[in-house]
Each structure stands twice: as C-alpha cells, then as structure tokens.
Amino acid sequence: MMSSKIFDKSITKEAFKPLIALKEKSDAVMVGCNTIIADNANLIGNEFYGINNKIKRIVLDSRCRISITARIFTLNPERTIIATSSSASKIKINKIIRTGAKVIICGTDRVNLKDLFRNLYKLGIKSVLVEGGGILNYSLLHERLIDILIVAFFPFAVGNSNAPALFDGNGFKKLLYPLKLNKVKVLNGNIFAYYRLKS
C-alpha cells in the first residue's frame, strides 16, 4: 500500500489544479479514519493545495480509533467533524469534543451514511468532496450517495498485492452501479474522467 504522502511527491503542482478547484467549491472534505491513521493528513491544506480557509473536515470513525494527537485535532480543530456510532467510547468522544472538534453520532454499530448526510445538510454542508479510501467509496456508492465520480489517471505504474482498490468492501456480484462518462479533462499528461451514476 502506497502512502498518499509518497504519491503526492511524485505529482507536479500543476496536476493538482483540478483537485484544488474542487476543494474551493466544496463545503467539506470527507475521508475514512484509516486515511488519518495512515498519513496523519490535515485535509484542509498542504504544499500543493495551500490552506483552504473555509472547508470543513469530515472523518468517519465508527469506534473513535483516531489518536487525539492527530493533526485534525491540533490544527484548526473547530473545522473537524467526526462521524461516529453509539458504540464508540464515551470517554474518547468527550476527549474529541474537548479539542474543539464536533462529533456527530449516527448509527449503532457503524456510521449510518444517510443519517450523516442529513445532519451535515442541517449544518449547512451541502457539497462534500470525498477523498476515500476504498471502503468509504464503496459504502457511498452502495447507498447511491455519489453525485459525481472523478477518476484521476497519472502517468505512473504503482501497486502490489496489497494495494487498495477504488472500491473496497464486499465487492459487486453483478453490475449494480453503471456509470455514464460526462467529460474528460487532460492536463499535462494527467487524465481526469468525470462520471455520473446512471439512474
């Protein structure tokens, strides 16, 4: 499995322009807890993106496994939203709240995604950029909560037997989620394909 930190260093700043534009238009960026555990990403900015001064972070963590010292809790924690379940440790939830982050409890054993999006809408968050990983991508697709799927192709050959898939999880036994290609952008040899779910 390749860390996104390593991968980011192989991509030019120019290639990030479409992603920067997406973040500028979004109310929040969403990831699963494994992304934070693996990379300690702060999500709201880096050397390529710069710092986005308005975007919220949403992290799905059904058991509140993320360390309280993670950067999402130490850098602008008031912009962090943790989505968790009622089975998470109440002690850990209180520790997260004390950092200044917001906690949304939706679901008993795992995060109920439809309930989460209803809660986010009430908070004024209407546009969410999902940056994975594969389990979160799969769950959102399964619940048909994806409006636009953007697949980026960069001119590198990477991967191994443990490499994550775009959609991890239980897999698809049949073609349940056909996609329609809306447009393709090519930028300095990098390809961005925009898809929508067919109804």
Question: Mean pLDDT, the chain, as a whole number?
Answer: 86
* 129 neighbors 27 (Cβ within 8 angstroms): no
Residues of the chain where predicted confidence (pLDDT) is lower than 50: 1-6
Take residue 44 and report the two structure tokens written for it. 């709201």
Instruction: Give which of 163, 152, 165 is closest to 193, Cα–Cα.
Output: 152
- What's residue 3's pLDDT? 40
Kindly provide the b/e burial profile for residues 68-77, where b requires at least 16 CB atoms within 10 angstroms of the residue's own CB. Answer: eebbbbeebb
**What pLDDT digit, counting tens, does each position of 113-164 carry?**
999 999 999 999 999 999 888 889 989 988 999 999 998 888 877 777 777 7
